[in-house]
Structure 1
Amino acid sequence: MKNLLVFILLSLPLLLEAQSGNTKPVKLPKPNKVWVFLLAGQSNMAGRGIVEAQDALTDPRIFSINSKGEVILAKEPLHFYEPSRVGLDCGLSFGKTLLKGVPKKVSILLLPTAVGGSSMRQWLGDSTYREVKLWSNFLEKVAIGKKYGQIKGILWHQGESDANERSIPPGQTH
Protein backbone atom coordinates (compact mmCIF):
# COMPACT_ATOMS: atom_id res chain seq x y z
CA MET A 1 0.00 0.00 0.00
CA LYS A 2 2.85 2.36 0.83
CA ASN A 3 4.42 1.77 -2.60
CA LEU A 4 1.11 2.52 -4.31
CA LEU A 5 0.78 5.79 -2.42
CA VAL A 6 4.33 6.82 -3.35
CA PHE A 7 3.63 5.91 -7.00
CA ILE A 8 0.44 7.99 -7.06
CA LEU A 9 2.17 10.98 -5.49
CA LEU A 10 5.03 10.76 -8.01
CA SER A 11 2.56 10.48 -10.93
CA LEU A 12 0.39 13.41 -9.84
CA PRO A 13 2.56 16.15 -11.40
CA LEU A 14 2.38 14.38 -14.77
CA LEU A 15 -1.39 14.20 -14.60
CA LEU A 16 -1.74 17.82 -13.56
CA GLU A 17 0.58 19.02 -16.32
CA ALA A 18 -1.30 17.00 -18.93
CA GLN A 19 -4.67 18.26 -17.71
CA SER A 20 -3.61 21.88 -17.62
CA GLY A 21 -2.94 21.94 -21.36
CA ASN A 22 0.65 23.13 -20.97
CA THR A 23 1.72 21.16 -24.02
CA LYS A 24 2.74 23.69 -26.65
CA PRO A 25 1.09 23.70 -30.08
CA VAL A 26 3.27 22.28 -32.85
CA LYS A 27 3.23 22.25 -36.64
CA LEU A 28 2.36 19.03 -38.46
CA PRO A 29 4.06 17.73 -41.60
CA LYS A 30 2.24 18.07 -44.95
CA PRO A 31 -1.21 16.36 -44.97
CA ASN A 32 -0.08 13.64 -47.39
CA LYS A 33 2.42 12.50 -44.75
CA VAL A 34 -0.03 12.39 -41.79
CA TRP A 35 -2.19 9.37 -41.01
CA VAL A 36 -5.18 10.22 -38.84
CA PHE A 37 -6.92 7.90 -36.39
CA LEU A 38 -10.02 8.79 -34.40
CA LEU A 39 -10.31 7.38 -30.87
CA ALA A 40 -13.95 6.82 -29.86
CA GLY A 41 -16.15 4.88 -27.48
CA GLN A 42 -16.40 4.95 -23.73
CA SER A 43 -14.23 4.71 -20.60
CA ASN A 44 -11.60 2.19 -21.70
CA MET A 45 -10.88 4.33 -24.75
CA ALA A 46 -11.28 7.59 -22.85
CA GLY A 47 -8.62 6.37 -20.44
CA ARG A 48 -8.89 5.13 -16.90
CA GLY A 49 -5.51 3.44 -16.35
CA ILE A 50 -2.80 4.93 -14.17
CA VAL A 51 -0.50 7.20 -16.18
CA GLU A 52 3.14 6.42 -15.47
CA ALA A 53 6.19 8.51 -16.31
CA GLN A 54 6.94 6.60 -19.55
CA ASP A 55 3.39 7.31 -20.76
CA ALA A 56 4.10 11.04 -20.75
CA LEU A 57 7.07 10.66 -23.13
CA THR A 58 6.40 12.09 -26.57
CA ASP A 59 7.44 10.86 -30.00
CA PRO A 60 8.18 13.53 -32.63
CA ARG A 61 6.00 11.63 -35.15
CA ILE A 62 2.86 11.17 -33.01
CA PHE A 63 0.50 14.08 -32.53
CA SER A 64 -2.86 14.77 -30.92
CA ILE A 65 -4.93 17.83 -30.05
CA ASN A 66 -5.57 19.61 -26.80
CA SER A 67 -8.95 20.83 -25.53
CA LYS A 68 -8.55 24.01 -27.61
CA GLY A 69 -8.14 21.98 -30.83
CA GLU A 70 -4.46 22.87 -31.15
CA VAL A 71 -2.11 20.20 -32.51
CA ILE A 72 0.36 19.00 -29.87
CA LEU A 73 2.83 16.18 -29.44
CA ALA A 74 0.80 13.26 -28.13
CA LYS A 75 1.22 12.10 -24.56
CA GLU A 76 -1.06 10.45 -22.06
CA PRO A 77 -3.69 11.21 -21.11
CA LEU A 78 -4.96 11.92 -24.63
CA HIS A 79 -8.63 12.45 -23.78
CA PHE A 80 -9.74 15.62 -22.04
CA TYR A 81 -13.54 15.49 -21.96
CA GLU A 82 -13.70 14.27 -18.35
CA PRO A 83 -10.95 16.18 -16.51
CA SER A 84 -11.61 14.45 -13.19
CA ARG A 85 -11.31 10.99 -14.76
CA VAL A 86 -8.36 11.17 -17.14
CA GLY A 87 -6.00 8.24 -17.42
CA LEU A 88 -4.10 5.86 -19.64
CA ASP A 89 -5.90 4.67 -22.79
CA CYS A 90 -4.76 2.56 -25.77
CA GLY A 91 -4.32 5.36 -28.34
CA LEU A 92 -0.69 6.28 -27.80
CA SER A 93 0.49 2.68 -27.52
CA PHE A 94 -1.37 1.99 -30.79
CA GLY A 95 0.45 4.92 -32.42
CA LYS A 96 3.86 3.82 -31.17
CA THR A 97 3.28 0.25 -32.34
CA LEU A 98 2.01 1.42 -35.73
CA LEU A 99 5.09 3.61 -36.29
CA LYS A 100 7.26 0.48 -36.29
CA GLY A 101 5.63 -0.68 -39.53
CA VAL A 102 5.04 2.50 -41.52
CA PRO A 103 7.42 4.52 -43.72
CA LYS A 104 9.69 6.91 -41.81
CA LYS A 105 8.12 9.89 -43.57
CA VAL A 106 4.68 9.15 -42.04
CA SER A 107 3.45 10.84 -38.87
CA ILE A 108 0.34 9.93 -36.89
CA LEU A 109 -2.40 12.21 -35.58
CA LEU A 110 -4.61 10.72 -32.84
CA LEU A 111 -7.92 12.53 -32.34
CA PRO A 112 -9.69 11.82 -29.03
CA THR A 113 -13.51 11.70 -28.93
CA ALA A 114 -14.32 9.00 -26.33
CA VAL A 115 -16.49 9.76 -23.31
CA GLY A 116 -16.75 7.26 -20.47
CA GLY A 117 -20.16 5.70 -19.83
CA SER A 118 -21.61 6.69 -23.20
CA SER A 119 -23.72 4.09 -25.03
CA MET A 120 -23.93 3.39 -28.76
CA ARG A 121 -27.50 4.69 -28.79
CA GLN A 122 -26.29 8.03 -27.39
CA TRP A 123 -23.64 8.32 -30.11
CA LEU A 124 -26.09 7.53 -32.90
CA GLY A 125 -28.66 9.97 -31.55
CA ASP A 126 -26.09 12.73 -31.01
CA SER A 127 -26.98 12.92 -27.35
CA THR A 128 -25.23 15.31 -25.04
CA TYR A 129 -23.44 13.18 -22.50
CA ARG A 130 -21.19 14.64 -19.80
CA GLU A 131 -21.44 17.99 -21.57
CA VAL A 132 -20.24 16.57 -24.92
CA LYS A 133 -22.53 16.33 -27.95
CA LEU A 134 -21.15 12.93 -28.98
CA TRP A 135 -21.75 12.58 -32.72
CA SER A 136 -21.27 16.29 -33.48
CA ASN A 137 -17.98 16.24 -31.56
CA PHE A 138 -16.89 13.16 -33.54
CA LEU A 139 -17.71 14.90 -36.84
CA GLU A 140 -15.75 17.99 -35.72
CA LYS A 141 -12.72 15.74 -35.16
CA VAL A 142 -13.23 14.14 -38.60
CA ALA A 143 -13.06 17.66 -40.09
CA ILE A 144 -9.86 18.36 -38.14
CA GLY A 145 -8.45 15.06 -39.34
CA LYS A 146 -9.21 15.87 -42.99
CA LYS A 147 -7.57 19.27 -42.57
CA TYR A 148 -4.29 17.84 -41.28
CA GLY A 149 -4.00 14.46 -42.99
CA GLN A 150 -5.56 11.30 -44.35
CA ILE A 151 -8.08 9.49 -42.14
CA LYS A 152 -6.88 5.91 -42.00
CA GLY A 153 -9.07 4.45 -39.28
CA ILE A 154 -11.23 4.61 -36.19
CA LEU A 155 -10.34 2.86 -32.96
CA TRP A 156 -13.61 2.30 -31.12
CA HIS A 157 -13.67 0.67 -27.70
CA GLN A 158 -17.19 0.15 -26.40
CA GLY A 159 -18.10 -1.78 -23.32
CA GLU A 160 -20.31 -1.96 -20.32
CA SER A 161 -22.98 0.57 -21.30
CA ASP A 162 -24.00 -1.77 -24.12
CA ALA A 163 -23.21 -5.10 -22.45
CA ASN A 164 -26.46 -5.83 -20.64
CA GLU A 165 -30.04 -6.76 -21.48
CA ARG A 166 -31.33 -3.26 -20.68
CA SER A 167 -29.25 -1.77 -23.49
CA ILE A 168 -30.90 -3.92 -26.19
CA PRO A 169 -33.85 -2.14 -27.84
CA PRO A 170 -37.24 -3.92 -27.43
CA GLY A 171 -37.87 -6.52 -30.14
CA GLN A 172 -34.17 -7.04 -30.96
CA THR A 173 -31.92 -9.91 -29.98
CA HIS A 174 -28.20 -10.12 -29.36
Structure 2
Amino acid sequence: MKIKILGTALLTLLALKGVSQDPKFYIFLCLGQSNMEGNARFEPQDTVVNKRLQVLEAVDCPNLGRVKGNWYTAAPPLCRCYTGITPADYFGRTLVEHLPEKIRIGIINVSVAGAKIEVFQQGAYQTYLSTAPDWMKNTATEYGGNPYARLVEMAKIAQRSGVIKGILLHQGESNTNDTLWTKKVQEVYTKLIKDLGLKAKKVPLIAGEVVNADQGGICASMNRIINQLPQTIPNSYVISSAGCPTGTDHLHFTAGGYRMLGKRYGIKMLELLGYKVPVTE
Protein backbone atom coordinates (compact mmCIF):
# COMPACT_ATOMS: atom_id res chain seq x y z
CA MET A 1 0.00 0.00 0.00
CA LYS A 2 2.83 2.39 0.93
CA ILE A 3 4.58 1.68 -2.37
CA LYS A 4 1.35 2.40 -4.24
CA ILE A 5 0.89 5.70 -2.40
CA LEU A 6 4.49 6.70 -3.04
CA GLY A 7 4.11 5.81 -6.70
CA THR A 8 0.96 7.92 -7.00
CA ALA A 9 2.67 10.83 -5.26
CA LEU A 10 5.64 10.57 -7.63
CA LEU A 11 3.39 10.58 -10.69
CA THR A 12 1.56 13.64 -9.33
CA LEU A 13 4.83 15.50 -8.80
CA LEU A 14 5.98 14.62 -12.30
CA ALA A 15 2.69 15.84 -13.72
CA LEU A 16 2.93 19.11 -11.83
CA LYS A 17 6.49 19.56 -13.02
CA GLY A 18 5.31 19.07 -16.58
CA VAL A 19 2.94 22.06 -16.36
CA SER A 20 5.10 24.33 -14.21
CA GLN A 21 5.97 27.87 -15.24
CA ASP A 22 8.86 28.29 -17.61
CA PRO A 23 10.75 31.43 -16.47
CA LYS A 24 12.14 31.74 -19.99
CA PHE A 25 8.67 32.05 -21.54
CA TYR A 26 7.93 35.79 -21.47
CA ILE A 27 4.23 36.69 -21.73
CA PHE A 28 2.90 40.08 -22.83
CA LEU A 29 -0.70 41.28 -22.55
CA CYS A 30 -1.95 43.58 -25.33
CA LEU A 31 -5.11 45.67 -25.22
CA GLY A 32 -6.61 48.67 -26.94
CA GLN A 33 -8.81 49.57 -29.87
CA SER A 34 -8.50 49.21 -33.66
CA ASN A 35 -4.80 50.04 -33.98
CA MET A 36 -3.96 47.32 -31.44
CA GLU A 37 -6.34 44.95 -33.23
CA GLY A 38 -4.48 45.78 -36.43
CA ASN A 39 -6.40 47.63 -39.13
CA ALA A 40 -4.07 47.07 -42.10
CA ARG A 41 -3.97 43.77 -43.94
CA PHE A 42 -0.84 41.77 -43.28
CA GLU A 43 1.41 40.98 -46.23
CA PRO A 44 3.35 37.85 -47.30
CA GLN A 45 6.49 39.00 -45.46
CA ASP A 46 4.48 39.06 -42.22
CA THR A 47 3.44 35.41 -42.40
CA VAL A 48 6.90 33.90 -41.84
CA VAL A 49 7.30 33.62 -38.07
CA ASN A 50 9.86 32.11 -35.72
CA LYS A 51 8.24 29.38 -33.62
CA ARG A 52 9.66 31.02 -30.49
CA LEU A 53 6.94 33.64 -30.95
CA GLN A 54 3.59 32.30 -29.76
CA VAL A 55 0.05 33.66 -29.49
CA LEU A 56 -2.59 32.51 -27.02
CA GLU A 57 -5.85 32.58 -28.93
CA ALA A 58 -8.46 34.64 -27.05
CA VAL A 59 -11.44 33.54 -29.21
CA ASP A 60 -12.33 30.47 -31.23
CA CYS A 61 -11.17 30.90 -34.84
CA PRO A 62 -12.27 27.94 -37.00
CA ASN A 63 -10.98 29.74 -40.11
CA LEU A 64 -7.47 29.67 -38.61
CA GLY A 65 -7.77 26.24 -37.02
CA ARG A 66 -7.33 27.85 -33.60
CA VAL A 67 -9.19 27.22 -30.36
CA LYS A 68 -9.56 29.72 -27.52
CA GLY A 69 -7.05 29.19 -24.72
CA ASN A 70 -4.46 27.33 -26.80
CA TRP A 71 -0.99 28.41 -27.94
CA TYR A 72 -0.03 28.70 -31.61
CA THR A 73 2.89 30.03 -33.63
CA ALA A 74 2.16 33.76 -33.85
CA ALA A 75 1.41 34.17 -37.52
CA PRO A 76 -1.06 37.02 -38.00
CA PRO A 77 -3.80 37.76 -37.17
CA LEU A 78 -2.88 37.94 -33.47
CA CYS A 79 -6.10 39.51 -32.19
CA ARG A 80 -9.22 37.85 -33.59
CA CYS A 81 -10.07 35.69 -36.57
CA TYR A 82 -10.18 38.38 -39.26
CA THR A 83 -8.11 41.26 -37.87
CA GLY A 84 -4.91 42.58 -39.47
CA ILE A 85 -1.30 43.24 -38.58
CA THR A 86 -0.83 44.80 -35.13
CA PRO A 87 2.06 46.44 -33.27
CA ALA A 88 2.22 43.20 -31.28
CA ASP A 89 3.47 41.34 -34.38
CA TYR A 90 6.73 43.23 -34.73
CA PHE A 91 7.03 43.84 -31.01
CA GLY A 92 7.27 40.07 -30.60
CA ARG A 93 9.55 39.60 -33.59
CA THR A 94 11.93 42.27 -32.31
CA LEU A 95 12.21 40.51 -28.96
CA VAL A 96 12.76 37.10 -30.57
CA GLU A 97 15.45 38.57 -32.82
CA HIS A 98 17.48 40.07 -30.00
CA LEU A 99 16.86 37.86 -26.96
CA PRO A 100 18.77 34.59 -26.33
CA GLU A 101 17.35 31.59 -28.21
CA LYS A 102 16.33 29.91 -24.96
CA ILE A 103 13.72 32.65 -24.40
CA ARG A 104 10.27 32.35 -25.98
CA ILE A 105 7.71 35.13 -26.33
CA GLY A 106 3.95 34.79 -25.83
CA ILE A 107 1.35 37.34 -26.96
CA ILE A 108 -2.24 37.75 -25.74
CA ASN A 109 -4.25 40.39 -27.59
CA VAL A 110 -7.74 41.45 -26.48
CA SER A 111 -8.76 44.63 -28.29
CA VAL A 112 -12.03 46.25 -29.37
CA ALA A 113 -12.12 48.56 -32.38
CA GLY A 114 -13.64 51.98 -31.80
CA ALA A 115 -13.97 51.48 -28.06
CA LYS A 116 -13.10 53.93 -25.33
CA ILE A 117 -10.91 52.75 -22.46
CA GLU A 118 -14.17 52.40 -20.54
CA VAL A 119 -14.75 49.06 -22.28
CA PHE A 120 -11.98 47.64 -20.03
CA GLN A 121 -13.16 49.30 -16.81
CA GLN A 122 -15.12 46.83 -14.70
CA GLY A 123 -17.26 49.56 -13.19
CA ALA A 124 -18.08 51.14 -16.54
CA TYR A 125 -18.07 48.58 -19.37
CA GLN A 126 -21.71 47.46 -19.06
CA THR A 127 -23.07 50.99 -19.16
CA TYR A 128 -20.69 51.88 -21.97
CA LEU A 129 -21.63 48.87 -24.11
CA SER A 130 -25.35 49.37 -23.49
CA THR A 131 -25.30 52.38 -25.82
CA ALA A 132 -22.54 51.16 -28.16
CA PRO A 133 -23.25 50.38 -31.84
CA ASP A 134 -24.14 46.79 -32.66
CA TRP A 135 -20.80 46.08 -34.37
CA MET A 136 -18.95 46.98 -31.17
CA LYS A 137 -21.33 44.92 -29.05
CA ASN A 138 -20.68 41.99 -31.39
CA THR A 139 -16.94 42.32 -30.85
CA ALA A 140 -17.42 42.40 -27.09
CA THR A 141 -19.66 39.34 -27.39
CA GLU A 142 -16.75 37.44 -28.95
CA TYR A 143 -15.00 38.08 -25.63
CA GLY A 144 -17.95 36.81 -23.61
CA GLY A 145 -19.35 40.32 -23.26
CA ASN A 146 -16.51 41.47 -21.00
CA PRO A 147 -13.15 42.11 -22.75
CA TYR A 148 -11.28 42.74 -19.48
CA ALA A 149 -12.49 39.46 -17.99
CA ARG A 150 -11.42 37.59 -21.13
CA LEU A 151 -7.96 39.17 -20.94
CA VAL A 152 -7.62 38.06 -17.32
CA GLU A 153 -8.92 34.59 -18.15
CA MET A 154 -6.33 34.17 -20.90
CA ALA A 155 -3.58 35.69 -18.76
CA LYS A 156 -4.22 33.14 -16.02
CA ILE A 157 -3.98 30.34 -18.55
CA ALA A 158 -0.71 31.82 -19.78
CA GLN A 159 0.67 32.00 -16.24
CA ARG A 160 0.58 28.21 -16.09
CA SER A 161 3.23 28.18 -18.82
CA GLY A 162 5.21 31.38 -18.48
CA VAL A 163 5.75 34.69 -16.72
CA ILE A 164 3.99 37.96 -17.52
CA LYS A 165 6.68 40.52 -18.28
CA GLY A 166 4.73 43.51 -19.57
CA ILE A 167 1.48 45.08 -20.76
CA LEU A 168 1.14 46.80 -24.12
CA LEU A 169 -1.54 49.42 -24.75
CA HIS A 170 -2.60 51.22 -27.90
CA GLN A 171 -5.77 53.13 -27.22
CA GLY A 172 -6.95 56.71 -27.05
CA GLU A 173 -8.47 57.71 -30.36
CA SER A 174 -11.99 57.32 -28.96
CA ASN A 175 -10.98 59.19 -25.79
CA THR A 176 -9.42 62.13 -27.63
CA ASN A 177 -9.08 65.16 -25.32
CA ASP A 178 -10.34 63.16 -22.32
CA THR A 179 -8.28 64.62 -19.47
CA LEU A 180 -9.28 61.72 -17.21
CA TRP A 181 -7.84 59.13 -19.60
CA THR A 182 -4.63 58.57 -17.66
CA LYS A 183 -6.62 57.89 -14.48
CA LYS A 184 -8.86 55.45 -16.32
CA VAL A 185 -5.84 53.62 -17.72
CA GLN A 186 -4.33 53.54 -14.25
CA GLU A 187 -7.49 51.87 -12.93
CA VAL A 188 -7.32 49.16 -15.61
CA TYR A 189 -3.58 48.61 -15.13
CA THR A 190 -3.82 48.48 -11.32
CA LYS A 191 -6.66 45.98 -11.47
CA LEU A 192 -4.74 43.76 -13.89
CA ILE A 193 -1.75 43.80 -11.56
CA LYS A 194 -3.96 42.85 -8.60
CA ASP A 195 -6.09 40.24 -10.35
CA LEU A 196 -3.04 38.46 -11.78
CA GLY A 197 -0.93 38.61 -8.62
CA LEU A 198 1.77 40.71 -10.28
CA LYS A 199 4.16 43.36 -8.99
CA ALA A 200 3.84 46.74 -10.71
CA LYS A 201 7.59 47.38 -10.42
CA LYS A 202 8.27 44.25 -12.48
CA VAL A 203 5.52 44.63 -15.09
CA PRO A 204 5.81 47.84 -17.12
CA LEU A 205 2.99 49.37 -19.14
CA ILE A 206 4.07 50.46 -22.62
CA ALA A 207 1.64 52.73 -24.46
CA GLY A 208 1.90 53.92 -28.05
CA GLU A 209 0.93 57.30 -29.41
CA VAL A 210 -1.94 57.53 -31.88
CA VAL A 211 -1.20 58.59 -35.48
CA ASN A 212 1.15 61.54 -35.19
CA ALA A 213 0.55 65.11 -36.27
CA ASP A 214 3.43 64.74 -38.75
CA GLN A 215 1.25 62.21 -40.58
CA GLY A 216 -1.87 64.36 -40.39
CA GLY A 217 -3.33 62.28 -37.55
CA ILE A 218 -6.91 63.35 -36.90
CA CYS A 219 -6.61 62.39 -33.22
CA ALA A 220 -3.03 63.61 -32.80
CA SER A 221 -4.06 66.04 -30.05
CA MET A 222 -4.54 62.96 -27.83
CA ASN A 223 -0.79 62.36 -27.82
CA ARG A 224 -0.33 65.24 -25.40
CA ILE A 225 -2.49 63.34 -22.88
CA ILE A 226 -0.93 59.96 -23.66
CA ASN A 227 2.50 61.42 -22.92
CA GLN A 228 1.32 62.33 -19.43
CA LEU A 229 0.81 58.64 -18.56
CA PRO A 230 4.20 58.21 -16.75
CA GLN A 231 3.13 60.96 -14.34
CA THR A 232 0.22 58.74 -13.24
CA ILE A 233 1.75 55.26 -13.61
CA PRO A 234 5.44 55.32 -12.57
CA ASN A 235 6.40 52.14 -14.45
CA SER A 236 4.90 53.24 -17.77
CA TYR A 237 6.52 54.35 -21.01
CA VAL A 238 5.21 56.05 -24.14
CA ILE A 239 6.23 55.05 -27.66
CA SER A 240 6.41 57.80 -30.27
CA SER A 241 4.45 57.35 -33.48
CA ALA A 242 6.38 60.10 -35.28
CA GLY A 243 7.15 59.07 -38.83
CA CYS A 244 4.99 55.93 -38.75
CA PRO A 245 3.05 55.94 -42.04
CA THR A 246 -0.72 56.23 -41.90
CA GLY A 247 -3.55 55.13 -44.14
CA THR A 248 -5.78 57.47 -46.07
CA ASP A 249 -8.08 57.90 -43.06
CA HIS A 250 -5.20 59.40 -40.99
CA LEU A 251 -6.52 57.33 -38.09
CA HIS A 252 -4.93 53.93 -38.71
CA PHE A 253 -1.38 53.00 -39.60
CA THR A 254 -0.34 51.22 -42.77
CA ALA A 255 1.22 47.76 -42.53
CA GLY A 256 4.61 49.48 -42.64
CA GLY A 257 3.50 51.84 -39.90
CA TYR A 258 2.51 48.92 -37.66
CA ARG A 259 5.88 47.27 -38.27
CA MET A 260 7.73 50.44 -37.35
CA LEU A 261 5.63 51.12 -34.25
CA GLY A 262 5.86 47.49 -33.13
CA LYS A 263 9.65 47.55 -33.39
CA ARG A 264 9.70 50.66 -31.23
CA TYR A 265 7.63 48.89 -28.57
CA GLY A 266 10.06 45.98 -28.79
CA ILE A 267 13.19 48.12 -28.48
CA LYS A 268 11.77 49.81 -25.37
CA MET A 269 10.95 46.43 -23.80
CA LEU A 270 14.41 45.11 -24.59
CA GLU A 271 15.87 48.19 -22.91
CA LEU A 272 13.73 47.52 -19.83
CA LEU A 273 14.94 43.91 -19.83
CA GLY A 274 18.54 45.14 -19.82
CA TYR A 275 19.44 44.72 -23.49
CA LYS A 276 20.82 47.44 -25.76
CA VAL A 277 19.64 47.30 -29.36
CA PRO A 278 20.79 49.60 -32.20
CA VAL A 279 17.82 51.67 -33.41
CA THR A 280 17.34 51.05 -37.15
CA GLU A 281 14.18 51.83 -39.11
User: What TM-score do you get using the length of structure 1 for normalisation?
Assistant: 0.71
> Which whole-Å deviations, capped at 9, do the CAs of 1:33-81 have from their partners, x for residues lacking one?
200001111110011112101111121100002332211000111111x
CA contact (8 A) 1:42 1:115 kept: yes
CA contact (8 A) 1:29 1:107 kept: no
Instruction: Please list every run of 5 or more consecutive structure 1 residues that lacks an aligned counterpart in the other structure.
Output: 1-27
Q: Answer yes or no: is 1:109 the counterpart of 2:106.
A: yes
In structure 2, what is the equivalent of residue 150 of structure 1?
Answer: 163
CA contact (8 A) 1:65 1:72 kept: yes
Percent of aligned pairs sharing the same letter: 30
Consecutive aligned runs of 4 or more in structure 1 exceeding 3 Å deviation:
126-129
In structure 2, what is the equivalent of residue 3 of structure 1?
Answer: none
User: What TM-score do you get using the length of structure 2 for normalisation?
Assistant: 0.45
Which structure has the higher relative contact order (CA within 8 Å, separation 6+)? 1
State the Cα distance separating 1:103 from its structure 2 match: 1.9
CA contact (8 A) 2:117 2:172 kept: no
> C-alpha separation between the residues in 2 aligned to 1:111 and 1:148?
13
In structure 2, what is the equivalent of residue 136 of structure 1?
Answer: 149
Instruction: Please list every run of 5 or more consecutive structure 2 residues that lacks an aligned counterpart in the other structure.
Output: 1-18, 60-67, 130-136, 182-224, 226-281
The farther-off stretch of 53-62 and 129-138 is 129-138
Q: Which has the higher strand share?
A: 1
Alignment-mate amino acid for residue 57 of structure 1: V
**Count of equivalent residues:** 139
In structure 1, what is the equivalent of residue 78 of structure 2?
Answer: 78
CA contact (8 A) 2:47 2:75 kept: yes
Q: 1:54 aligns with which of 45, 52, 56?
A: 45
State the Cα distance separating 1:102 from its structure 2 match: 1.8
- Evaluate the alpha carbon distance shift between residue 152 and residue 168 of structure 1 in structure 2; reply closer, same or farther with a 3 A threshold: closer
> C-alpha separation between the residues in 2 aligned to 1:59 and 1:52?
16
